Chain A
Amino acid sequence: MAPAPIAPLSCQGLGLDLAGNTVLDALDLTVHAGETLAIVGPNGSGKSSLLKLLAGLRKPTRGSVHLMGQPLAQVPRRQIAQALALVEQQADTLDAIRVFDAVALGRTPWLSALAPFCANDRAIVEQALADVDALHLRGRLWGALSGGERQRVHIARALAQQPRLLLLDEPTNHLDIQHQLSLLHQVQALQVTTVVALHDLNQALTCHRVAVLDKGRLVALGKPLEVLTPQRLLDTFGVHAHYLTDPYDGARILRFRAP
């Protein structure tokens, strides 16, 4: 039997306590190469904390994270950043930085005194801007951008890192409906393994797999339609839900009612 391929990212028995409260507990998760994995759960279920632990920004209280089979705690920060990029919610700045320069920050893990910013880096930054449909914003100042434009610039910066893994924390927040759809489509079209925390369960339905968090525990993991059952939605989110079929393309969509 051939050995199983090394998972790009996985965690075992992951737990996090903050100020005496258990934020995450006993979390086992393996991300498959090339997939888009959605993380869903009510407010405060630990989605953002999980992404922070997976990106190595916080030290877990219990358990461990493995990146390409290596314990994350032993991988140097720079090497992590070459493999994995995280787009957080609401990272902001007061600096009058231009969009191009904000995206160029994504090249930081690849630059050094011996490898300064060169034409190749410039091309990568421009491609990243093009990937999120933001090339026309390149000369604009950060302060002059709308919320949705800022979100796209953040994602472009993550893409400029040329990561194999992309972690996104509610990337479609602040976006108008057109950009929500195009952004998710663009992210899913990228040749990178993606873990994305989502609020909109109908968006989660378009991902390869869905992980459901409830009070810091992983309560379900699998294909969207198998995981997001009406009973699960009632138990975890406290809403009644049933599936409708879109007459336009036959896609299944969720409709919710308060209990």
Chain B
Amino acid sequence: MALSGLFLIMFLSLHFFINMVSVFSADSFNAMSHFMGYNPLIQFVMQPVLIAGVVFHFVMGFVLELKNRSARPVAYVKYDGAANASWASRNMIISGVVVLAFLGLHMYDFWVQEIAYKYCLANPIDETRYYGELVHKFESPVRTGLYSVAFVLLGLHLWHGFTSSLQSVGFDNKIGKSLHKICYAFAVIVPFGFIFIALFHHFINN
């Protein structure tokens, strides 16, 4: 979990960076998106690796949850989980499932349509279409709202997941302790950054 999680955090950082660019420059965003969409190394090596990473993280997440549940076959009548652990740490499966549902929608929105655009419809290459597509997605207030909620949950997932993954790989020394603050900052800044991007396009560009 920890290693795939850290890998996904790297991907998320990249994704965040590119999306953030859209706020400042449509052209740069288009150029980057085009590079990501048509570079063979990205398309045929990194993308499958990413998909494998995502699938592994989710499948293992569910397996872990099931195994951990079976470690306590009889539940407590009274269980005060909040007394000693954060909500985020105790409910990774909930935040994870929400993020997964969002990811389904997200994949449908972008990836499926992108594949259809490129390979099924065999449309010609258009290096300037990405920014428009992005802005269009944030037109609906409902969609933008759901998008924002999903990122709040992702934030909670990261709030626990990032430091937890460092602990799991045994990274717990002086540097590790100061890294924890960076982890928490990441867990706040990145998801809220995504929300900012969504709201920006929703209110400014639509």
Say if A and B assemble together: no
A residues apposed to B, CB below 8 Å: none
